[in-house]
């Protein structure tokens, strides 16, 4: 075959792969606009009735705030903790650093069902070791969901901030100290602005981790307090209610917007932290004759 | 008591003694260079003064106040880094204002002080630029303005000019020194470039193995080095090692071995039989065609390297190669040719007699 036809073959293959990957995601969107009362593909008619259902049916109006609160709080908590951990791991030197880094990354590799069962026992039932009690009573509460999701989401800001920190020139922090900035001011004015991209990226990933998490949330959910993904799962097991497709589309839209934001970060930071080459021509008397940028 | 007083400053990394009981004092407004090869401890000394490192022993006092255990951000010392360390996410104005903001000056005072220091480094039109949009020389000047704007007690410069190209470096040397004098701040400058140290400093501290070998004015360290290491650190030199065969009022005769002798005119006291090293700088040696000169030291031109304002000749004489640097100008004739027989001569006093404890081989 000619190189050209090879090229077409590769393109077709890539398209096929993309289609297989995207189909299950994209099929949900048209289904959510159906007019019939059960889920079907292709959808019958066109209507927004299932979207309005989201705002009227208490089944959903109770779940959406829980999901949003949990995801926001998880993103905040995981990002703060992940940033602190990343600072400690990259800046500090102490025995057991490697082991600790491994522990911080563990939520990525530990089977999620193990975490869910563990979360259930610790947060829901509580641990009683002699006189010391820990956890318990957090089943079916938003704080319980936040704590459990923070464990899952923690590695993302930890990784992104660690990576960002390795690119920060330590001399800049010394310079700030030399200019009179205490450690907190140095972090706030110099380090944090330079790792901003890593922090935002980590926060977005942490948010999304909580936003679509089903397994742990279903262990900790109660009939009164539960999240949107858990509710979708429950609904679909009972009926083919198209509301599930509508809310799935909303989740998808939120994720797409956030990832889009992620793609925008480099563009935004280039505006403020740009690199360009400047050429200076110095006259013999020391004045600057021309500066070309 | 001196303005800057460093006593027995010691820093040890594992087995290695990086700084070995360093003593240094500087007067108010003085410009002192720490000169030495990499690994001699000069940068460590600077970082200890700045407070970025903690010494294992010794003390540092500025203006009568002990600062040894003060954290860096409370020392009120300005520092210009080799890489400038300008904050890339801030404009020139924000960079310069940083130190003033930490000291809680009012917005009006900050604005006024920043404008004045931009004036001082002649970067008035550049306040809203980012460091990445500036040339090396401009970045250097922003770093200097940033380090001086909050009126520090001390200015530290860590190889601050080495990133610049030669021409700009020479210009910045003069400019930096002029600004330092205007401001009147005491400065400690770390460099491995002996020309830079000689050009800029009131006094030069030549360092080796964590110690100051000699601390003196530029002309004294250059003209009266205490040993071969110092002589070599401050520029090219021809070293001749031997023992004193005889002496009289005008100098002595050096026995170089292999039956070679050399008469040295000097008032440096030596004893007959003592071994010593004599250093002669290449620019102190004069050349003349052999037949016309009365000199007893003759040799052959082995190589000629034209370097614009000077020419470097390598002369084979006394069974060794002697480097001779002659100035080139319109009035001088440097018509020596390869393999030509030439006579070498130097003024009395040009020969630097060095104590032999640390002679250069």
Distance from CA of A285 to the nearest CA of B (A): 9
pLDDT tens figures, A7-27: 899 999 999 999 998 888 888
Residue carrying structure tokens 């858990």: A230
Print the SS3 string covering chain A.
CCHHHHHHHHHHHHHHHHHHHHHHHHCHHHHHCCCCCCCCCCCCCCCCHHHHHHHHCHHHHCHHHHHHHHHHHHHHHHHHHHHHHHHHHHHCCCCCHHHHHHHHHHHHHCCHHHHHHHHHHHHHHCEEECCEEECCCCCCCHHHHHHHHHHHHCHHHHHHHHHHHHCCCHHHHHHHHHCCCCHHHHHHHHHHHHCHHHHHHHHHHHHHHHHCCCHHHHHHCCCCCCCHHHHHHHHHHHCCCCHHHHHHHHHHHHHHHHHHHHHHHHHHHHHHCCCCCCEEEECCCCCEEEEEC
CA atoms of A59 and A252, how far apart (whole Å): 19
pTM for this model (two decimals): 0.79
The pLDDT mean for chain B works out to 89
Examine the pLDDT at B164 and tell me if it is beyond 70: yes
Query: Is there a contact between B135 and A276 if contact means CB atoms under 8 Å apart?
Result: no
Query: Is there a contact between B130 and A274 if contact means CB atoms under 8 Å apart?
Result: yes
Helices B136-148 and B92-102: crossing angle in degrees, nearest 10, is: 20
Give the range among A33-42, A199-208, B121-130 with minimum mean pLDDT: A33-42
pLDDT of residue B333: 62
Nearest to A185 among B50, B88, B102 (CB): B102
Give the range among A85-94, A187-196, A265-274, B289-298 with minimum mean pLDDT: A265-274
Give the residue, A278 or A268, on which the prediction is more confident: A268
pLDDT of residue A84: 95
Nearest to B146 among A179, A186, A278 (CB): A179
Give the range among B6-10, B99-103, B270-274, B328-332 with minimum mean pLDDT: B328-332
pLDDT of residue A282: 36
pLDDT of residue B2: 85
Average pLDDT over residues B160-178: 86
Cβ-Cβ contacts under 8 Å between A and B: the total is: 97
Residue A211, CA distances (Å) to A77, A206, B73, B228, B255 in order:
14, 9, 43, 73, 90
Query: Is there a contact between B133 and A274 if contact means CB atoms under 8 Å apart?
Result: yes
Give the residue, A241 or B144, on which the prediction is more confident: B144
Structure tokens at B63: 């203006």
Helix, coil or strand: residue B76:
coil
Comparing alpha-carbon positions, the chain B residue that sits nearest to A174 is: B52
Determine the residue among B49, B53, B133 to mutate to test chain A binding: the one whose Cβ has the most chain A Cβ atoms within 10 Å: B133
Average pLDDT over residues B308-321: 89
Query: Is there a contact between B168 and A286 if contact means CB atoms under 8 Å apart?
Result: no
Examine the pLDDT at B156 and tell me if it is beyond 50: yes
pLDDT tens figures, A44-100: 778 888 888 888 888 888 888 899 999 999 999 999 999 999 999 998 888 888 899
pLDDT of residue A293: 32
pLDDT of residue B61: 95
Examine the pLDDT at A276 and tell me if it is beyond 50: no
Beta strand pairing call for B286-289 and B341-345: antiparallel
Confidence of residue B105 (pLDDT cuts 50, 70, 90): very high
CA atoms of B226 and B246, how far apart (whole Å): 23
pLDDT of residue B44: 93
The strand order across the sheet containing B203-208 reads B77-80, B154-158, B186-191, B31-35, B203-208, B211-216
pLDDT of residue A138: 79
Q: Which residues of A touch B133 (CB under 8 A)?
A: 274, 276, 278, 293
Tell me, yes or no, if B52 comes closer than 8 A to chain A by beta carbon: yes
Chain A residues contacting B, CB < 8 Å?
169, 171-172, 174-183, 185-186, 189-190, 193-194, 272-276, 278-280, 282, 286-288, 291, 293
Average pLDDT over residues B301-316: 89
Confidence of residue B359 (pLDDT cuts 50, 70, 90): very low
pLDDT of residue A233: 85
pLDDT of residue B226: 86
Tell me, yes or no, if B50 comes closer than 8 A to chain A by beta carbon: yes
Give the range among A15-24, B252-261, B276-285 with minimum mean pLDDT: B252-261
pLDDT of residue B100: 95
Q: Which residues of A touch B105 (CB under 8 A)?
A: none
pLDDT of residue A269: 59
Confidence of residue A275 (pLDDT cuts 50, 70, 90): very low
pLDDT tens figures, A146-201: 999 999 999 999 999 999 999 999 999 999 999 999 999 999 999 999 999 899 99
Confidence of residue A37 (pLDDT cuts 50, 70, 90): confident
pLDDT of residue B337: 84
Comparing alpha-carbon positions, the chain B residue that sits nearest to A269 is: B89
Determine the residue among A174, A178, A182 to mutate to test chain B binding: the one whose Cβ has the most chain B Cβ atoms within 10 Å: A178
Nearest to A179 among B102, B138, B167 (CB): B102
pLDDT of residue B361: 37
Helix (H) or strand (E) holding B235, with range, is: none
Examine the pLDDT at A107 and tell me if it is beyond 70: yes
Give residues 162 to 191 of B whose Cβ lies within 8 Å of A.
167-168, 171, 175
- At A212, give phi and psi (nearest 5°): -115, 20
Distance from CA of B123 to the nearest CA of A (A): 10
Give the range among A211-225, B193-207, B290-304 with minimum mean pLDDT: B290-304
């Amino acid at each position: 075959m000619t190189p050209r036809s090879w090229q077409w073959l590769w393109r077709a293959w890539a398209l096929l792969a993309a289609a297989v990957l995207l189909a299950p995601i994209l099929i949900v969107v048209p289904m959510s606009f159906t007019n019939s009362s059960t889920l079907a593909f292709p959808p019958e008619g066109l209507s927004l009735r299932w979207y309005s259902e989201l705002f009227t049916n208490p089944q959903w109006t109770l779940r959406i705030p829980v999901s949003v609160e949990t995801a926001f709080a998880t993103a905040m908590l995981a990002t703060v903790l992940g940033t602190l951990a990343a600072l400690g791991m990259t800046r500090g030197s102490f025995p057991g650093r490697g082991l600790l880094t491994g522990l911080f990354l563990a939520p990525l590799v530990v089977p999620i069902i193990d975490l869910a069962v563990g979360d259930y026992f610790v947060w829901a039932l509580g641990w009683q070791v002699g006189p010391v009690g820990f956890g318990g009573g957090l089943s079916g509460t938003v704080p319980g969901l936040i704590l459990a999701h923070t464990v899952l989401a923690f590695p993302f800001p930890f990784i992104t901030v660690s990576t960002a920190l390795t690119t920060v020139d330590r001399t800049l922090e010394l310079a700030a100290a030399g200019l009179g900035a205490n450690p907190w001011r140095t972090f706030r004015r110099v380090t944090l602005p330079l790792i901003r991209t890593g922090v935002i990226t980590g926060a977005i990933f942490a948010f999304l981790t909580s936003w679509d998490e089903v397994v742990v949330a279903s262990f900790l959910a109660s009939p009164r307090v539960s999240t949107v993904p858990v509710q979708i799962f429950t609904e679909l097991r009972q009926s083919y209610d198209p509301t599930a497709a509508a809310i799935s589309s909303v989740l998808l839209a939120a994720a797409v917007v956030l990832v889009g934001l992620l793609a925008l970060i480099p563009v935004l930071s280039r505006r403020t932290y740009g690199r360009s080459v400047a050429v200076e021509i110095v006259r013999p008397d020391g004045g600057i004759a021309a500066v070309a940028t | 008591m001196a303005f800057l007083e460093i006593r027995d400053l010691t820093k040890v990394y594992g087995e290695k003694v990086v700084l070995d009981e360093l003593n240094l004092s500087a007067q108010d407004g003085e410009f002192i260079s720490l000169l030495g090869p990499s690994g001699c401890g000069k940068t460590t000394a600077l970082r200890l003064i700045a407070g970025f490192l903690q010494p294992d022993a010794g003390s540092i006092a500025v203006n009568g106040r002990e600062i040894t255990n003060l954290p860096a951000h409370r020392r009120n010392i300005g520092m210009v880094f080799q890489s400038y360390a300008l904050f890339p996410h801030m404009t020139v104005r924000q960079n310069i204002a940083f130190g003033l903001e930490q000291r809680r000056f009012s917005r009006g005072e900050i604005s006024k002080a920043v404008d004045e220091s931009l004036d001082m480094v002649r970067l008035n039109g550049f306040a809203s630029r980012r460091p990445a949009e500036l040339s090396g020389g401009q970045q250097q000047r922003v770093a200097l303005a940033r380090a001086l704007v909050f009126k520090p007690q001390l200015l530290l410069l860590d190889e601050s000019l080495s990133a610049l190209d030669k021409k700009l470096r020479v210009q910045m040397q003069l400019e930096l020194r002029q600004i330092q004098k205007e401001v009147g701040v005491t400065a400690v400058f770390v460099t491995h470039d002996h020309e830079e140290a000689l050009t800029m400093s009131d006094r030069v501290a030549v360092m080796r193995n964590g110690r100051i070998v000699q601390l003196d004015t530029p002309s004294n360290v250059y003209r009266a080095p205490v040993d071969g290491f110092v002589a070599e650190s401050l520029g090219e030199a021809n070293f001749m090692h031997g023992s004193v065969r005889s002496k009289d009022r005008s100098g002595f005769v050096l026995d170089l071995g292999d039956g070679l002798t050399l008469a040295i005119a000097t008032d440096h006291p030596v004893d007959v039989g003592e071994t010593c090293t004599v250093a002669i700088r290449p620019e102190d040696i004069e050349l003349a065609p052999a037949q016309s000169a009365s000199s007893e030291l003759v040799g052959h031109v082995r190589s000629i390297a034209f370097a614009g304002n000077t020419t470097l000749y390598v002369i084979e004489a006394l069974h060794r190669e002697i480097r001779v640097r002659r100035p080139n100008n319109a009035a001088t004739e440097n018509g020596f040719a390869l393999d030509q027989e030439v006579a070498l001569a130097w003024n009395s006093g040009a020969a630097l007699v060095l104590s032999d404890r640390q002679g250069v081989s």
